Amino acid sequence: MRQLYIGGSWTASASDDPVEVVNPATEELIDRVPAGSPDDVEAAVAAARKAFPEWSRTAAAERGKFLARAADLLNQRADEMARTIATDMGAPLGFALKVQTLMPATVLASYAQLAESHPRESRVGNSLVVREPIGVVAAITPWNYPLHQIVCKVAPALAAGCTVVLKPSEVAPLAAYALAEIFDEVGLPPGVFNMISGRGPVVGEAMAAHPGVDMVSFTGSTVAGRRVAALAAETVKRVALELGGKSANIVLPDADLALAVKVGVANCFVNAGQTCSAWSRMIVHRDQYDEAVRLAVETARGYRVGDPFDESTRIGPLVSAIQRQRVTRYVNRGQEEGARLVAGGTDRPHERGFYVEPTVFAGVAPGMTIEQEEIFGPVLSLIPYTSENEAVQIANGTKYGLAGAVWAGTEERAVAIARRLRTGQVSINGGRFNPLAPFGGYKQSGVGREMGELGLEEYLEVKSLQL
């Protein structure tokens, strides 16, 4: 069984309880990691608190150099890391390389620069306003982007001058172990970065409630996010939450319908639909609705479901048997509530592995369960509208507000609609994701932002010196 990384050393857990890591494509056991315990949390927080004073006083340029070296090593080991992620959580290898590995490397490198360039002081009248690292950060991350979500928290925290205790998801923890090895190799001072594998109700809750933790940054479900926020509130620590989504893809009548549907389906199905910002609701004008359904079905049927290491695979397995059961329940619920299953369904595409077919629903009405709740699988709902106001109302009609898209004949018209959406990011006519721009949501999609300068600001306190 692997060990924990605490105080600059690989350390045995205080718990003998292992967590088995399973390859979702083969259902085979591939590794074991410690379940972790509250005693491990105590040790890691103590190490982080001990390291904080010196690390926070380390010159920003020096902190940036550590991150730059880590980014270089991650790029050098990108192929190996991608294979780890493809095995660990089932992402197709090409996607695991480009998005799951090289994109986090870009984010890591960006914080190597921002560590020094981001302004820490400003003058307001007779006051000097200074920004200082908040302290010890507990970072709790999910399994769907097992490296990217870690980097989006750990990199800005370290750049700001904070020390970190990380709990990666126990479902897919191996990329976190590989990153911990990189941080160890670049020589981060002991205690600056610590990692404890384990289960959320034990390790995660102990971290969130710990009085020695100054901030919790959590990515995961909205239900779990509420629990984290409640525990953190007992000691009034700062909380950053990146939670669920049910993002809308609005296609206006003058848009390129074929392109909008093709890109929209791709976005919904990316990472087997296990993406919080997936455009899982396609909102199309009634006059074009039947054609949009036809195009979506045709596109979905072109997606090959299979082995993550097969170059022709577009959709790998879901991460676990539990996740597959969850998605299957939603597909059944959609049919029970009257939506029309026009592609995919609950049949198993392969005998082994946690696979589901890419699924498309037509005849979906606002308020249906599959239109309101995050499914976290390759399931697309198509919803008709008659006016722009109705399209916006449908798009804004869930408790979430993480991402979305608008397609129109002109950028100006699409932007006008996008400004009316209560959501953190909107793609305009297929505008691509920018890993250097702030990411986060409105409403129950979360609190705070990740990536870019605003991502760094999350880890800074503000002090006014009256001169």
Give the start-to-end residue ranges of the domains of the chain.
Answer: 4-243+444-466, 248-434
Local structure of 66: helix, strand or coil: helix
Q: What pTM, to 2 d.p., does this model score?
A: 0.97
Amino acid at 195: M
Burial track 381-392 (b if 16+ CB lie within 10 A, e otherwise): bbbbbeebebbb
Long-range contacts formed by 305-312: CB under 8 A, 24+ apart: 305/349, 305/350, 305/355, 305/356, 305/357, 305/358, 306/349, 306/350, 306/355, 307/25, 308/25, 308/86, 308/87, 308/90, 308/91, 308/92, 308/93, 308/96, 309/86, 309/93, 310/92, 311/93, 311/94
Res 34: pLDDT: 97
Q: Say if CB 209 and CB 186 are below 8 A apart.
A: no
Residue 98's nearest CA partner among 75, 72, 70 is 75
Q: CB-side exposure of 221: number of CA atoms within 13 Å?
A: 10
For residues 115 and 155, give the distance between their C-alpha atoms in angstroms, rounded to a whole number: 9
In order, the DSSP letters of 415-460 are HHHHTTS-SS--EETTPPP-TTS-B--SGGGEES-BSHHHHHHTTE
Let me know if the fold of 4-243+444-466 is the same as that of 248-434: no
242 is catalytic: yes
Would you state the structure tokens that stand for residue 201, as one six-digit string? 């109700």
Q: Indicate which residue of 152, 276, 371, 450 is catalytic.
A: 276
pLDDT average per 10 residues of sequence, the chain (467 residues)? 96 95 97 97 98 98 98 98 98 98 98 95 97 98 98 98 98 98 98 97 98 98 96 97 98 98 98 98 98 98 97 97 97 98 96 97 98 98 98 98 98 98 98 95 97 97 97
Q: Indicate which residue of 170, 205, 242, 458 is catalytic.
A: 242
Amino acid at 28: E
Fold classified for 4-243+444-466:
Aldehyde Dehydrogenase; Chain A, domain 1 (3.40.605)
Eight-state DSSP code of residue 99: I
Res 295: pLDDT: 98
Would you state the structure tokens that stand for residue 41, as one six-digit string? 């949390």
Residue 60's nearest CA partner among 121, 101, 102 is 121
241 bridge partner residues: 218, 447
Res 1: pLDDT: 83
CA angle, 335 then 340 then 343, to 5°: 100
For residues 82 and 373, give the distance between their C-alpha atoms in angstroms, rounded to a whole number: 30
Q: Does the CA dihedral 45-49-51-57 come out positive or negative?
A: positive
Condensed to tens digits (0 to 9), the pLDDT of residues 377-392 reads 999 999 999 999 999 9
152 is catalytic: no
* The CATH number, out of the four listed (3.40.50.970, 3.40.309.10, 1.10.3720.10, 2.130.10.10), of the domain defined by the range 248-434: 3.40.309.10
Q: Say if CB 438 and CB 139 are below 8 A apart.
A: no
